[in-house]
Amino acid sequence: MHLVVLGAHCGDAEIQAGAIAHKYAKAGHEVTFVHLTAGEKGNPPDVSVEEYRKQKIRESEKVAEILGAKTITLDYKDAELAFNDEIITRVATLMRKLKPNVVITHWENSIHPDHALCPRIVQAAQLKAGLPGFDLDGLPAHYYGFYHSENWEDMEGYVPDLYVDVSDEFDTYLEALSNYWFIMKSKSFRYYDYYKALGTVRGCVNRTKYAQTLKFPTGTNVRKGGFIPGYEI
C-alpha cells in the first residue's frame, strides 16, 4: 500500500497523522508526506521568510526519516493558497505519479484558510486523477480514497469516525515532532504538549494507551445494508 498524508504546511501532516503514518511504514507500506507550502511565514524574529522555508524543509526531511516516510514540499506560498485549476491539476498529476491507496488531509472547517482549502483540493484532484479523460502528463488514471485527521486549528465539527491504536508508535512520533522548531519553540501555541495530550485522550476513548483519529469525508460515512448489526443475514 501507499499512504499519502497531505497538509497545508510542513508539520501539519506529521502532527495530524504522523503516528498512523509510522504504523503504516513499520508494516512495510510506502508513506509520503506532501506539503503544499513550507509554512514559512511563521518564521522566528531573527530568521527571514526564505531562510525559514529552507529550515522547515530540512526539518521535514528529518521528521520523515524518523517516521520511515518520504517527503515532498511544493513551492506554493504560505497563507496564499488558492483554489483553482492550476493547483488541482498539479496535485492530481502528483497523485497519479504517487498512486496512493489512501490520502489523509485536513478537516474541512478551519480557522486557517490554507487548511480549509486542502480537503477541497484533495477532493477535486481525486476526481481529476481518477478520470481517464484527463490527460495529465500521459500518466494513467488513478483514483484514491481519503480521510480527514485532527489539527487543533481544524476542530469545528470534527467528530472522529475511526480511532487508530498507535501505542507502539507514539514515542517515535513524539521524537520526530521534536525536530520541528515551531513545535518545540512556538510562543503562540504549545504544539508538543497538545498533541501528546490529544494522543492520550484519544487513547483513553479507544481503550489503548495512545490513539490518533480519522474522519470520513462528509456524506461518505453512511453504511448501507439489509441486516441488523450483530446478526447474520
Walk me through the domains of the chain, giving residue ranges and CATH numbers: 2-215 (3.40.50.10320)
Please write the tens of the pLDDT for every residue from 36-70: 999 999 999 999 999 999 999 999 999 999 999 99
Q: What is the rounded distance in angstroms from the CA atom of residue 209 to the CA atom of residue 134?
A: 45
Cell numbers representing residue 210 in the block: 495512545
The pLDDT value recorded for residue 29 is 98
Q: What is the pLDDT of residue 221?
A: 75
Rg, Å, the chain Cα set: 18
CA distance 158 to 135: 35
- The reported pTM is 0.95
pLDDT in tens, 72-123: 999 999 999 999 999 999 999 999 999 999 999 999 999 999 999 999 999 9
Q: Give the C-alpha separation, 140 to 131, whole Å.
A: 9
Q: What is the structure's pLDDT at 226?
A: 65
